[in-house]
Amino acid sequence: MINRTVLVGRLTRDPDLRYTNSGAAVATFTVAVNRQFTNSQGEREADFINCVIWRKAAENFSNFTHKGSLVGIDGRIQTRSYENQQGQRVYVTEVVVENFSLLESRAQSEQRQNQGGNAGFQNNAPQSSGNTNPFDAGQGNNNGSQSNSNGNASSAASSNPNDPFADNGEQIDISDDDLPF
């Protein structure tokens, strides 16, 4: 059986770090993940996915992320249920995080927080500091240096004009004949 989940999105709030009676750290948080398509008004909608992370990873995640942080999550989907105080059965579906990556540098995160905390966290595509591929944004480079020195999305697209995935702000027209199915 396979149960594998990979998410790239922004935190909707600071992680909530708690400790169990036995002393194990557990953090819960929600990741907003933009959908790949737009609605009838031309806006991108987002899915808000609940996540939980355990032990030392929970402490590290809570220390290095804040509301609006761009993160990559690798884990598994888990469902559980419990009885609330009113005696009703409550069902919960969440992602149990096994690995995570910080997808923006500390400087970018601090700059976003200094601009009011919501820069790049809108109901449309997240602004990942000019890097059009979220997997390249700060991956393995969390020492505060930026991967794109001027942080301008248009310069990232113009640095490689043959990149079909570069975001140059233009709408892509695809006819039904172009689709493989």
The domain spans of the chain are 5-165
Res 134: pLDDT: 39
Res 39: pLDDT: 85
Among candidate residues 166, 158, 107, 124, the one with its CA nearest the CA of residue 32? 124
Instruction: Rounding to the nearest 10 degrees, give the CA dihedral for residues 129, 121, 70, 79.
Output: -160
Q: What is the pLDDT along the chain (181 residues), one digit of tens a residue?
A: 999 999 999 999 999 999 999 999 999 999 999 998 888 888 889 999 999 999 999 999 999 899 989 999 999 999 999 999 999 999 999 999 999 999 888 778 777 777 765 444 444 333 434 433 434 433 333 333 333 434 444 444 445 556 665 666 666 666 776 666 5
Tokens of 158: 């113009």
Res 115: pLDDT: 74
CB 123 within 8 A of CB 149: no
Res 40: pLDDT: 86
CATH of domain 5-165: 2.40.50.140
Res 10: pLDDT: 93
Tokens of 174: 């695809």
Res 61: pLDDT: 92
User: Beta strand 5-11 with 89-102: parallel, antiparallel or unpaired?
Assistant: unpaired
Res 95: pLDDT: 94
